[in-house]
């Protein structure tokens, strides 16, 4: 799926503004308490990276402290033990104090060794208590609307594949190895179809249930019921973007057969590979249709087998009037409409690959994304790459549906 946007905070600095307290440089002095809280966060980050549990606990509200802290970080520190971290830091973005209590907002930034080219960011909401002249963290939670982190859901198990890293909670090691095997088959399949201009590895997150999967996305579970997996990342991601995450819904995934499971993982891996060329200009019929085209490319399945919902409509003589719109891909909408949207996009990409060649399909995808804004993107790419107007392309697609599914 389309990738999610990143929160970018601005460092909030409390300053002394009284005339006489300004230093000789002319710059106001920073607020002492803000600096003290940032130092606590720096010590906490160093403890995570160093695996120093004692140092980590020293940043938490002391047990039995009368200030009423309720830190839960000790368990999460243990849950992180197996995650191969290359970096972990906090950046304080706001602080609001009332006596010896405070709430704060911070940006957590971390990288997974060997996979993230830039830090992943997560907005955090903190409660702090001052005791004995020192600040301690009472709670460290996702900010409102932000997703949870996998280690907040339990101890993380890690399986490394040849082209994959699978992080799971509440899953048996054998199941995680199965995910890694699927990902290791998906990566070379995607490279064969798309090309080698992507990192060539994937990170998969496998939570315990649909509820936990939705929690990682900061969303309601109802919106992802029946969806086997999604991919998060930055649209138009550059070399400085962190690695995408393929997040699995184990409940829906468990209902799939062997072919379906491979198709899902290959589909999501395609989103990882094409991310740099998937921009706001790219319609969902193209991004999802292309990912399905790669997913089904070597499956041997027929159009009627892959697109049963659309085949039923075509068989009744009701050809779609237009290519699927972005609104047709709403997860919480009608399941039949959603299926037909995916199938329609897949058939459009399959038609391009079959009539003009796979290289031309890739060129078309890149040309659309390189436009960077929706207006005129598809129209320009159709004319440049395929020599068609949108109306001509739609008519050919309709005829193709009738020939393949009628």
Mean pLDDT of 179-199: 97
pLDDT at 21 over 60: no
Mean pLDDT calculated for residue range 228-249: 80
Q: For residues 405 and 314, is the Cβ–Cβ distance under 8 A?
A: yes
Please identify which residue in the block is written with the tokens 């899953």: 171
Question: Average pLDDT in the 41-53 region?
Answer: 97
pLDDT for residue 242? 72
Average pLDDT (318-341) is 92
The proportion of the chain whose per-residue pLDDT surpasses 90, expressed as a percent, equals: 82
pTM: 0.87
Averaged confidence pLDDT in the chain: 89
Rounded average pLDDT over 263-285: 97
- Domain 151-277, CATH: 3.30.2010.30
Chain segment 345-380, per-residue pLDDT in tens:
999 999 999 999 999 999 999 999 999 899 999 999
Task: Report whether pLDDT(187) > 60.
Answer: yes
Q: Convert 260-287 into a string of H (helix), E (strand) and C (coil).
A: HHHHHHHHHHHHHHHHHHCCCCCCHHHH
Which residues, in sequence order, are CB contacts of 112 under 8 Å at separation 6+?
Answer: 83, 84, 85, 86, 120, 165, 203, 243
* Residue 62 banded pLDDT, cuts 50, 70, 90: confident
Structural tokens at position 171: 């899953």
pLDDT higher than threshold 90 for residue 64: no
> Is 381 or 117 the better-scoring residue by pLDDT?
381
| Domain span(s) for CATH 3.30.2010.30 in the chain | 151-277
In 3D space, the residue among 200, 189, 209 whose CA is nearest the CA of residue 254 turns out to be: 209
Give CATH for domain 32-146: 3.10.450.50
The residues of the chain that CATH labels 3.10.450.50 are 32-146
Q: How confident is the model at residue 93 (pLDDT cuts 50, 70, 90)?
A: very high
């Amino acid at each position: 799926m389309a990738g999610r946007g990143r929160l970018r905070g601005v460092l909030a600095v409390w300053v002394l503004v009284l005339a006489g307290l300004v230093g000789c440089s002319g710059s106001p002095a920073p607020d002492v308490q803000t600096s003290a809280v940032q130092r606590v966060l720096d010590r906490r980050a160093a403890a995570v990276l160093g695996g120093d549990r004692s140092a980590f606990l020293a940043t938490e509200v002391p047990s039995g402290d009368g200030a009423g802290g309720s830190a839960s970080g000790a368990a999460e520190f243990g849950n992180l033990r197996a995650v191969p971290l290359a970096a972990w830091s906090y950046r304080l973005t706001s602080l609001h104090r009332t006596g010896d209590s405070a709430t704060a907002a911070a940006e957590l930034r971390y990288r997974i060794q060997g996979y993230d080219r830039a830090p992943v960011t997560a907005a955090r909401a903190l409660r702090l208590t001052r005791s004995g002249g020192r600040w301690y963290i009472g709670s460290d939670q996702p900010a409102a609307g932000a997703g949870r982190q996998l280690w907040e859901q339990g101890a993380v198990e890690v399986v490394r594949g040849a082209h994959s890293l699978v992080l799971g909670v509440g899953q048996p090691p054998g199941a995680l190895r199965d995910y890694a095997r699927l990902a290791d088959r998906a990566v070379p399949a995607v490279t064969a179809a798309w090309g080698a201009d992507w990192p060539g590895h994937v990170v998969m997150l496998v939570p315990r249930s649909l509820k936990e999967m939705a929690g990682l996305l900061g969303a309601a579970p109802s919106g992802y019921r029946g969806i086997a997996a999604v991919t998060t990342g930055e649209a138009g991601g550059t070399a400085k973007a962190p690695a995408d995450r393929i997040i699995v819904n184990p409940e829906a995934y468990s209902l799939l057969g062997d072919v379906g499971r491979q198709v899902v993982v290959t589909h999501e891996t395609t989103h990882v590979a094409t991310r740099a060329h998937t921009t706001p200009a790219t319609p969902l019929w193209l991004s999802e249709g292309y990912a399905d085209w790669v997913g089904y490319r070597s499956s041997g399945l027929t159009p009627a087998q892959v697109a049963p919902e659309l085949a039923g409509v075509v068989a009744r003589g009701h050809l779609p009037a237009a290519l699927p719109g972005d609104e047709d891909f709403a997860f919480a909408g009608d399941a039949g409409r959603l299926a037909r949207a995916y199938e329609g996009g897949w058939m459009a990409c399959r038609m391009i690959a079959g009539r003009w060649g796979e290289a031309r399909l890739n060129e078309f995808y890149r040309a659309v994304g390189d436009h960077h804004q929706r207006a005129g993107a598809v129209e320009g790419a159709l004319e440049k790459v395929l020599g068609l107007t949108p109306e001509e392309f739609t008519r050919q697609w309709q005829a193709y549906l009738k020939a393949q599914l009628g």
